[in-house]
């Protein structure tokens, strides 16, 4: 993968954000920086994670800066396990992959509100808040700016505490990604399945199915096992963050219910082309992860409380399986009876 080409491609293709007066933009950026540590205090009180860790501000970025940061994080996460292509075609393959990655990142750069990247900043982690997207979404939803900005920060600070408050999680996540890349590199013969894959992809677009988008059409048995572990983990992480950002409650975010209702509707996407791209890139799968993971978290917390829910962070063995995500009672019987 030519990551420099990916970054430059994304930078060329990124669409500009909403146009607002400079003074208003400065206020929004300044407030986002302040809200991140404030949000993390609320998340720590609710979840019990991260007590004693330093409170840090977020990095407020524009769309091109988010794309550059994403390239840096992806490079750090995958380069050690990414299959290498040698010979005369090696450079062509790397360049093609770089252009493709840049196109995907440019598409995502107008949609991502925030991100905690545990592999950014030389492994120290980065909490990124994409100011133009937050402002644009807040205006589109017609909700209070302060409430919406804090609500987004609650989600991203939950992710930061997941990785900083659970010491083994970062390395475990990296290992799962490496296992998947190795499994993908060792598979062969996928092209012979192309007619079946095309039919399945069409079906998934019609039904908005496909837990990992197009990638699951290429699965071997090893790949499926690796994907199942990654899907279960990412669904837990996203759903836990979605649960927390709402569970903090109206005493902190007065318009939280209105924001959630309108944001859920917005997540459904636009027309046929938009839905096709979202399915191809796994965005539709990501939306379902939020819902399934939040339902899992809510069920467990309602049943046994947040303290017992936190058993999930004990070790990799206490994480829910992909099947348990949709059957939280089974996870409770296995891990936290």
Tens digit of each residue's pLDDT (9 = 90 or more) over 257-313: 999 999 988 877 666 556 566 566 666 666 778 889 999 999 999 999 999 999 999
pLDDT at 116: 96
- Dihedral angle over CA of 39, 293, 68, 108, nearest 10: -110
Determine how many CB atoms are found less than 10 A away from the CB of residue 259. Answer: 23
| Integer Cα distance of 188 and 171 in angstroms | 28
What are the angstrom distances between the C-alpha of 181 and each of 43, 85, 231?
33, 14, 14
pLDDT of residue 49: 96
Strands 59-61 and 126-130: parallel
State the burial class of residue 321 (Cβ atoms within 10 Å of its Cβ: 0-12, 13-18, 19+): middle
Q: Beta strands 114-117 and 59-61: pairing type?
A: unpaired
- What pLDDT, on a 0 to 100 scale, did the predictor assign at position 87? 58
Give yes or no for a contact between 121 and 61, defined as CB atoms under 8 angstroms apart.
Answer: no
Q: Please state, in angstroms and rounded to a whole number, the distance separating the CA atoms of residues 225 and 285.
A: 17
Burial 92-126 (b: 16+ CB within 10 A, else e): ebbeebbbebbebbbbbbbebbbbbbbbbeeeebb
Residue 126 region, left (φ>0) first, then alpha (ψ -120 to 50), else beta?
beta
pLDDT value of residue 41: 96
Q: What pLDDT is recorded for position 97?
A: 84
User: In 3-state terms, what secondary structure has residue 20?
Assistant: coil
Residue 54's alpha-carbon distances to 37, 98, 159, 161, in angstroms, are: 9, 36, 15, 11
Which H or E run includes 311? none
Helices (H), the chain: 3-13, 22-47, 63-78, 90-109, 131-141, 145-165, 169-186, 194-207, 221-247, 256-266, 272-280, 283-304, 306-309, 322-325, 328-335
At residue 321, the pLDDT reads 95
Q: What is the pTM of this model?
A: 0.84
Residue 253 is classified by DSSP as: S
Task: Quote the tokens at residue 101.
Answer: 């990655």
Q: Which regions of the chain are under pLDDT 50?
A: 188-192, 194, 208-211
């Amino acid at each position: 993968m030519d990551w420099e080409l990916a970054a430059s491609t994304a930078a060329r293709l990124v669409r500009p954000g909403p146009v607002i007066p400079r003074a208003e933009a400065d206020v929004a950026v300044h407030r986002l920086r302040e809200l991140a540590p404030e949000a993390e205090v609320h998340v720590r009180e609710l979840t019990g994670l991260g007590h004693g860790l330093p409170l840090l501000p977020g990095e407020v970025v524009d769309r091109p800066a988010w794309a550059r940061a994403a390239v840096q994080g992806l490079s750090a996460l995958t380069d050690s396990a990414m299959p290498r292509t040698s010979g005369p075609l090696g450079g062509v393959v790397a360049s093609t992959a770089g252009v493709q990655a840049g196109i995907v990142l440019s598409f995502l750069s107008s949609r991502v509100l925030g991100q905690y990247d545990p592999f950014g900043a030389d492994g120290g982690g980065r909490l990124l808040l994409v100011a133009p997207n937050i402002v644009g979404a807040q205006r589109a939803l017609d909700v209070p700016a302060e409430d919406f900005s804090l609500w987004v920060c609650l989600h991203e600070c939950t992710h930061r505490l997941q990785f900083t408050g659970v010491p083994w999680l970062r390395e475990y996540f990296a290992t799962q990604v490496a296992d998947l890349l190795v499994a993908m590199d060792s598979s062969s013969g996928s092209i012979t399945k192309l007619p079946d894959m095309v039919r399945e992809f069409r079906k998934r677009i019609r039904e908005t199915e496909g837990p990992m988008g197009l990638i699951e059409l290429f699965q071997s048995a090893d790949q499926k096992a690796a994907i199942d572990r990654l899907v279960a983990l990412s669904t837990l992480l996203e759903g836990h963050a979605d649960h927390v950002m709402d569970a903090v409650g109206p005493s902190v975010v007065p318009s939280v219910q209105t924001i959630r209702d309108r944001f859920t509707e917005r997540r459904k996407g636009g027309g046929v082309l938009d839905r096709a791209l979202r399915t191809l890139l796994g965005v539709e799968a990501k939306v379902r992860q939020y819902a399934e993971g939040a339902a899992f978290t809510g069920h467990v917390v309602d049943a046994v409380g947040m303290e017992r829910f936190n058993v999930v962070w004990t070790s990799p063995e206490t994480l829910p399986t992909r099947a348990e995500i949709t059957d939280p009672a089974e996870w409770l019987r296995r891990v936290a009876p």
